[in-house]
Chain A
Amino acid sequence: MKPLETPMMRKRRVQRIGLYVLIALIILEILDFVTARLTNGSVLLLFVLAAINAAVIAQYFMHIGELFAPEEETH
């Protein structure tokens, strides 16, 4: 049987997800930097990487999904 999750446990869990997202974003930024060096500043590749970065922020930090959620499920 799954143990009950207290509000503090839940808070720590969602904050941990935020930390994983931050690590992913920093890796993407470093990838940006390396890609620029390897491709002599390829506009297309760097734009794609920036778009991925922005999508991750919008999804996890900005909760863009809540915009389309049914009203009763949003705060």
Chain B
Amino acid sequence: MATEAIAHEHHAAAISPARRMAMNRMGLWLFILSDTFFFAGIFAARFYLWGATRPHLDQVLGMTVTIVLLVSSYFMYRAEMAIRHDDRGDYLRSILMTILLGLGFLAGVVGFEWRTSPVNLSTEGEFAVYGSILFFMTGMHAFHVLTGVILLAILAYRGYKGHFSSRNYWAVQAGAIYWHFVDVVWVFFYPALYLMGVAVGPGHH
């Protein structure tokens, strides 16, 4: 057993940093792929149950939170580029801005959309399915945004402690890729919820 453990350690040490980085990157993208299948399933459920219709949602609110999330992605990109060039001050400012915008997105969806939506989980009858899908799609996405915000807070703390530099930024890049992925998911969810098809059911006409 001890011989096997030593052999394993030797093998791990023999992997070059570039090779390890390539493996890390591939592992992250495989995780992203698996999460994509999950969101694709929800996306398919929306079309199966809603077809070419949608509930009466506030389209301006939808576009506003979408732009907030896109701007947060830009600041995450800024943060990554800052740490790649050893600018810790810019990194911290940009990542804190990303966190604030992420929280702003959550406030828009959970604080406003969920409260003002004409359909919700207590909607009954033929329009019950609109509330279910709306809350499932926005809820699972908001959960991912929340986990992203927690991850970014950890990255901000570690950056503040000086753990990252132009020679060691993989954790920041991984966090950034996850954050942008959450953005990509919303880029599909926003039109699917707010724009695609004809508005039906309770709400403003």
Enumerate chain A interface residues (CB-CB to B < 8 A). Answer: 7-8, 10-11, 14-15, 18-19, 21-22, 25-26, 29-30, 32-33, 35-36, 40-43, 46-47, 49-50, 53-54, 57-58, 60-64, 66-67, 71-72, 74-75
Give the complex CA separation of A62 and B176 in angstroms: 7
Q: Is the CB of A61 within 8 A of B25?
A: no
Task: Label chain B's interface by main secondary structure.
Answer: helix
Name the one of A41, A54, A71, A74 contacting B195, with C-beta atoms under 8 angstroms: A41
Using known A-B contacts A61-B77, A72-B18, determine if residue A43 contacts B70 with beta carbons closer than 8 Å.
Answer: no
Q: Once the chains bind, are B81 and A29 in contact (CB under 8 Å)?
A: no
Distance between Cα atoms of A58 and B29 in the complex (Å): 11
User: Which interface class (under 10, 10 to 19, 20 to 34, 35 or more) fits B?
Assistant: 35 or more
A57 vs chain B, min Cβ distance (A): 5
Shortest beta-carbon distance from A32 to chain B in Å: 6
Q: A67-B29, A74-B25 are in contact. Are A10 and B85 (CB under 8 A)?
A: yes
Q: Which of B34-90 contact A (CB under 8 A)?
A: 47, 52, 54, 59, 63, 66-67, 70-71, 73-74, 76-78, 81-82, 84-87, 90
